[in-house]
Amino acid sequence: MGALGKVVDLILLLTFLAISVVAPFLDSQTFLPQSMFPDFLVRFYKWYAIENQDYLLLEKPHFFIALMKLELFFVWPLALLNIYGLLTSKPWFNTSCLIFGAALITSTTAMVGDMIGSQKPSSDKLVMMYSPFIAFGALAVLRGLVSQCKASTSIRNGPTLVTKKRA
């Protein structure tokens, strides 16, 4: 991969790191007892929710809690796996990156869709904060697809099969 590929990988690495921190320490506070978390994390969670008027965190609708569980039990492990796969150039990274991106796009689109439809005063600000994760998810999907396409092209142009000559 060229310079653009390295920039994409850096953006994805930062996304994976962000999810790796946010999912277990903040997002999981939507459905786990607050007694499980240190006071400073609980205060930060409440401050963020109130400061940004994030009604999803304040009201905790059922669909949002389900998405946060999906993030903690599916997206977060994929983010950790992708950090390892990216840093060690594992061959399965393309596939896990594709899966991560699809999951991130799907869950974030549901949240942004609710914000757009809610007509709440803070919705525009929240849409601007959540929307980049749709773009990061799309970037992860494209990263997985482009690498898959290159792999299949190199196989096609690889060595030809040797056939026995019949007399």
Q: Total structural domains in the chain? A: 1
pLDDT band at 133 (very low <50, low <70, confident <90, very high): very high
**Is 156 part of any domain?**
no
Do the beta carbons of residue 68 and residue 27 sit within 8 Å?
A: yes
**Is 162 part of any domain?**
no
**Is 154 part of any domain?**
no
**Is 119 part of any domain?**
yes
**Is 40 part of any domain?**
yes
Domain extent, residue 124, equals 3-149
pLDDT of 20-77, one tens digit each?
Answer: 999 999 999 999 999 999 999 999 999 999 999 999 999 999 999 999 999 999 999 9
Q: If you write DSSP's letter for every residue of 122-137 in order, what string do you get?
A: THHHHHHHHTHHHHHH
**Is 164 part of any domain?**
no
**Is 158 part of any domain?**
no
**Is 132 part of any domain?**
yes
Do the beta carbons of residue 103 and residue 74 sit within 8 Å?
A: yes
The C-alpha atoms of residue 104 and residue 155 are separated, in whole angstroms, by 30
What is the structure's pLDDT at 161? 52
